[in-house]
Structure 1
Amino acid sequence: MSAPAPTSKDRSAADSIEVRILDAARVQFERLGVKKTTIGDVARQAEVDRGTVYRRIGSRDDLVRAVSAREVRELLTELEGIPARHESMEAIVADIFGTVITRWREHALINRVLALEPGRLLPYVTTEGGPFFTMAVGTTAAILTEALRQRQLPETPDFTTRIEIAARIVHSLILQPVGAIALESEEQLAAFARAYIAPLILG
């Protein structure tokens, strides 16, 4: 006899456990860094046993990837609400640009890992960051395409390509924030985006 299919209540309970584990992992990573965090630490913080962590998420590296993916998804969800705050496409692009860079700069987990283990974060934003980058480009393209449609504006030729080029500029600015361009304040970020990023994307 086959096992009964999981109910919505079962799935909700499983999702709740995974949320607790990821929340606990983030707390431990911020507190101790990744290297010093053990599966046991995460299990105790989440109030589950070690086996549950391994079954639900996996190893410590899997936890890092899962926490990182959730943080990216939360940022992309925030970006989806930006077009409703602005009338012009230039303002939307500038807000998205500034939000991504500001959230990166102010992110407690990122700053903690950079302080404790700067080499730990690099793979996730370079060689192992392809899926996150692709997701970011796709989501941004969808957001801006829908914003154009709602405003009855034409889409620029090679629109997704232009967005990817802009995303690579953002990626570069995140990896190397020091330069001759003044981008410390929100006003400076917005001015730069209006002058260079919006024309690149919108034509």
Structure 2
Amino acid sequence: MAAKILDAARIRFAAQGISRTTMSELAADAGISRKWLYRHFDNRDAVVRALIGRDAQRVIDSVTTLYADASDPLDAMIDALTTVVTLLRQDQLLQRLVETEPQALAPFLTTGAATLMRPAIEVTVGLLDEHFGMARTDATLAAEALIRLTLSSVLSEAATTDFDDPEKRREFFAYSVPRLIAPPHGFESG
């Protein structure tokens, strides 16, 4: 039932925004009563948090899939971050909120960002440990830097890099990723 509610919420939020959407509308869109909706979600913010969490997990799953068959871990990391930016910059709901309701999105990306970022950081730490042999402390710092850089690339207007251009997006991460995951004294040469 929660998935049905979140599917309906995604469509409604994309069409009219978060702040103009009522719980009654969400219940009607999901084909359930308000009472039943409130059994699953305390309020609209709880729906938004759940929707962000579900969408974040889908993005994390796509990154994990990219790594499953990767022969070059560095190239896979660059591809993964480029893919995340692509998916999120093309997401109708996210782009609508960034453009028309940044105030509704802000709490989930500032004071509540840990809920969104922590799972992505943990997955990235695992990938850095497994594929690059990074110590947990270094992997955690690098992972947080990578996730913050990725979120900024999704949410910010172009300053010098056009993140809507696939080549520029990949070029940006091809430049940035090796510097963020390099061992403190650089990579060993063979």
Q: TM-score under structure 2 normalisation? A: 0.86
Match of 1:201 in 2: 181
Determine which of 6, 16, 38 is the counterpart of 1:32: 16
Larger gyration radius, structure 1 or structure 2 = 1
Q: What's the counterpart of residue 103 of structure 1?
A: 87
1:186 and 2:138 aligned? no
1:109–1:165 CA distance, 2 compared to 1 (3 A)? same
Does residue 172 of structure 1 match 2:152?
A: yes
Large movers: runs of 4+ above 3 Å: 143-146, 181-184
Question: 1:94 Cα shift?
Answer: 0.7
Q: 1:58 to 1:156 in 2, by over 3 A?
A: same
2:7 corresponds to 1:23: yes
1:52 aligns with 2:39: no
Q: Percent of pairs identical after alignment?
A: 27
CA distance in 2, matches of 1:166, 1:70: 21
Which SS does the other structure have where 1:81 is aligned?
helix
- What secondary structure, in the 3-state scheme, does the structure 1 residue paired with 2:47 have? helix
Number of equivalent positions: 181
Please list, as runs of the form range in 1=range in 2, the aligned pairs for 1:26-175 lying within 5 A after superposition: 26-146=10-130, 148=131, 155-157=133-135, 158-175=138-155
Structure 1 residue 202, shift from structure 2 partner: 4.2
Q: Which amino acid aligns with 2:143?
A: I
CA distance in 2, matches of 1:119, 1:55: 27
CA RMSD of aligned residues (A): 1.8
